[in-house]
Amino acid sequence: MLILLAAAACGQEPAGQPVMRTEIGSGKADVIAAPSPEAEIVEPTPASACTSVTFEDVDLTHCIADPAKHRVLMDLGPTDGAPYRSFANLAAARAADAPQVAFAVNGGMYDGEGKPIGYYVENSDRAKELSRSDGPGNFHLKPNGVFYGTGGAWRIRTADEFYAQVGDRPEFGTQSGPMLVIAGKLHPEITQDGPSRAIRNGVGVDKQGRAHFVISESPLSFGKLARFYRDVLKTPNALYLDGSVSALWDPASGRMDYRAPIGPMIVVETKGD
């Protein structure tokens, strides 16, 4: 049984801790024909991998990691040290190679110390095994999933698929939940646009192998974020990363969010020449 430590509160959601905050009360997906996507997308400037997006009157920031240009890694904290808990601490620790950072986002749920509660691999070193346990909150809203990769091959799979199909340890990996999109369909317990609202972020991988990281600029529902991935970005699989504590560091624009202490971070670096 997974035992979670108490986490500091941020708004209505403890930082990084799965909570019972769900519009998913029916236990069934709404059977509604997918609407025509309504999104206004502004192309990113050469200096930034992130761009502004408006989807159904909600402003989003959309950052693209392209295997041809970027590499992805996880960063929790210094070796044998406490987690960084903020982008400011991460930036200070990476001062020498900070120009390589294209952007970074919070990358999965964690306990009160900032340590991951699910599968976590950094630099091919597994710090936490895959969790397939049951429990409360978003993390345990099955299926949850894993974002992982080696080199320029990045994937998202449900936890059960990962357990059954992935034998070799990847270079990076982080587990979160719930899945937003599974094989082109919304998670079976996520409604189209339920009443729960929060600043939320997620990741999806498209058929070209690019990773799409999205963070909302105002509160939105699980369903709206999931439909943006399904209908606009057309990612076959997408994974929820967290809510309320969701944050982005985009050095090109000078943006460095801080809403509450965070845990694992997904860092996207620009490849050198």
pLDDT of residue 8: 33
262 close to 247: Cβ distance less than 8 angstroms? yes
- What pLDDT sits at residue 244? 93
Q: Which residues pair with 53 in a beta bridge?
A: 41, 60
pLDDT at 92: 94
Give pLDDT, residue 32: 31
pTM of the model: 0.84
Query: For residue 180, what pLDDT is reported?
Result: 98
Which tokens go with 130? 């895959």
The two tokens of residue 62 are 């959309």
**Looking at residue 105, what is its pLDDT?**
98
pLDDT given at position 39 = 55
* pLDDT recorded at residue 95: 87
Q: How confident is the chain (273 residues) per 10-residue block, as mean pLDDT?
A: 34 38 33 42 66 96 98 94 96 85 96 96 97 89 96 97 97 98 95 90 98 98 97 98 96 96 97 77
Query: Which residues, 6 or more positions from 161, have their beta carbon under 8 angstroms from its beta carbon?
Result: none
Residue 97 has a pLDDT of 73
